[in-house]
Amino acid sequence: MNKWLVIVMAALLASCGQAPESNVATPDTGGSRKGDFGPPQGEPIHAVLTSPPQVPAATNRKTPAKVIVELEVIEVDREIAEGVTYTFWTFGGTVPGSFIRVRQGDTVEFHLKNHPNSKMPHNIDLHGVTGPGGGAASSFTAPGHRTQFTFKALNQGIYVYHCATAPVGMHVANGMYGLILVEPPEGLPPVDAEYYVMQGDFYTVGKYREKGHQAFDMQKAIDEHATYVLFNGSESALTGPNALKAKTNQNVRLFVGNGGPNLVSSFHVIGEIFDRVQYEGGTKVQENVQTTLIPPGGAAIVEFHTEVPGNYVLVDHAIFRAFNKGALALLEVQGEPRPDIYSGKQVDEMYVGDKLVSTAPVGAAFKSRQAGTLTQAQQIQAGEVLFKGTCSACHQESGQGIPGVFPPLAKSDYLMADHKRAIGIVLNGLTGKVKVNGVDYDSVMPPMSQLNDDEIANILTFALNSWGNENGVVTAAQVKEVRATTKRAEGAAH
């Protein structure tokens, strides 16, 4: 046979057997069969639990230990959004509940306490437990009492825990979930910052951001019609002064869970790519991921290295949840600019304007209106905050709109001519031809009926007093009248 043919064939055969370096697979850990490292050694350890978004330090252990975990269930009244309160049922006083960190092979002695002021009995199912109910059958605790059970953590991973008392959906929907990390025996590779984020969907009788104390709405939960989709149990949990913090050139690790009860999370960080994802919270790793799926009752570990300073927004990329239901969190990265990597200015302020600015003026204006002391200045201040979050995406912060696409509000004859018409447009949207300042526009403005009467009144008052517009006031009562006398667009919030 031809010598060259042989050489070529040999080379081909040889290359078949070689795996390219980047495809080296993570070896199997063997699961629970290989997860029992024997009886606990040394003195029992009292686990240090942390409140979100903090994560306890690594266990730094080489041998299995007995770990005592004490967790208390407390029913808490807290704000879910500005001016909106809700009765949460919590593990450890927070939503999500305290973060528990143990090592594979540890024997965990779990103490569950139920505060005497609780109205309900509660229990716990930890997804990292091998045993009936995940512990739920052994931890049913009446108010004012405590129960205890012990389990061995046979599988490594990041696991959800939640209450499993009937009706389970309601207990979960009220915030009864958290994460327990079972470290691999060799520990996780060290990083510069670790944070704990957990998504959940919430169902209230009132509309999104309807003020006052809100009750849980069972029918909406059954219909999977969420009112709020939030990270860490409130709109302001991880925004404004509560934003997560990191520096440039750091390795950041996020333990991200999804308590549900119903909605799957499409977890994404705007402006970052996940260098490593332990998808589904398991042992295998995927690299270079933009958006990862986290099912209710599931979790994932994402890691990324920071290069460029700025505000990075954590979202559920089912995007209406981010902007209309509150599924937003912030990571502020500080450091020297890197124009070689990213030249532009800070991440979209108008995108998330009202999340960087405090929403306090909105709540203050509402209270003043209720007390009858609302001033035009207060309305303008509140309206500016709201405008940035909702309207500036199209009409721009400058009020100029986009030529040929979105009409301007600045010095707009159309706006100034008829306040009542303006209210109707904000409430019900507008489709079709309009002439503004002599220019034709033929576009679609979606209805904004999810905004309440105060919010619409304040936004319009702000618009009427900005960018050279002369003056004007719109009151909540006027909005209420238009809302009552016009028909909502199909599918819009009432």
Partner 1 sequence: MLNSQWFWKCVYGIAVAIVATAALAAPPDKEAVLQAELPGGKFETVLPPAPAVKTTRVAPFRLDRSLVTNAQFARFVKAHPEWRRERVARLFADDKYLSHWNAAGEPAGALARQPVTHVSWFAANAYCEARGARLPGWYEWEFAAAASDRAPDARNDPAWRQQILDWYSRSARGSLPPAGASPANYYGVRDLHGVAWEWVEDAGSMLVSDDGREQGDGSNRFCGVGAATFEQKENYAMLMRIAMLSSMKAAYTSSSMSFRCASGERP
Binding site for partner 1 (CB under 8 A): 75-77, 86-87, 116-121, 123, 125, 132-133, 136-145, 164-168, 170, 205, 213-219, 222
Rounded Cα distance between 379 and 373, Å, is: 11
Q: Are 87 and 76 in contact (CB under 8 A)?
A: yes
Output the smallest distance, CB 141 to partner 1, in A: 7
Nearer to partner 1, 173 or 263 (CB): 173
Tell me the residue type at 142: A
Output the smallest distance, CB 164 to partner 1, in A: 5
Q: Are 136 and 149 in contact (CB under 8 A)?
A: no
| Backbone phi, psi, residue 6, to 5° | -60, -45
Query: Is residue 302 classed as helix, strand or coil in its secondary structure?
Result: strand
The first and second tokens of residue 346, run together, are 């800070």
Output the smallest distance, CB 257 to partner 1, in A: 19
Rounded Cα distance between 46 and 365, Å, is: 48
Nearer to partner 1, 218 or 273 (CB): 218
Residue 288 buriedness (CB in 10 A; 0-12 / 13-18 / 19+): exposed
Residues in the chain: 494
The first and second tokens of residue 44, run together, are 């029992």
Q: Which residues pair with 193 in a beta bridge?
A: 252
Nearer to partner 1, 220 or 253 (CB): 220
Q: Which residues pair with 487 in a beta bridge?
A: none
Neighbours of 32 (CB within 10 A): 13
Nearer to partner 1, 104 or 114 (CB): 114
Of 93, 42, 68, 74, the C-alpha closest to 149 is: 68
Output the smallest distance, CB 120 to partner 1, in A: 7
Output the smallest distance, CB 50 to partner 1, in A: 24
Nearer to partner 1, 86 or 159 (CB): 86
Output the smallest distance, CB 91 to partner 1, in A: 16
Output the smallest distance, CB 152 to partner 1, in A: 20
Rounded Cα distance between 210 and 80, Å, is: 11
Q: Where do runs of H (alpha helix) occur along 196-266?
A: 218-222
**Cα distances (angstroms) measured from residue 250 to each of 53, 184, 236, 271, 378:** 18, 23, 25, 15, 42
Output the smallest distance, CB 140 to partner 1, in A: 4
Nearer to partner 1, 223 or 442 (CB): 223
Tell me the residue type at 157: G
Rounded Cα distance between 373 and 382, Å, is: 14
Output the smallest distance, CB 217 to partner 1, in A: 7
Q: Are 446 and 439 in contact (CB under 8 A)?
A: no
Output the smallest distance, CB 119 to partner 1, in A: 4
Nearer to partner 1, 1 or 166 (CB): 166
Rounded Cα distance between 405 and 388, Å, is: 19
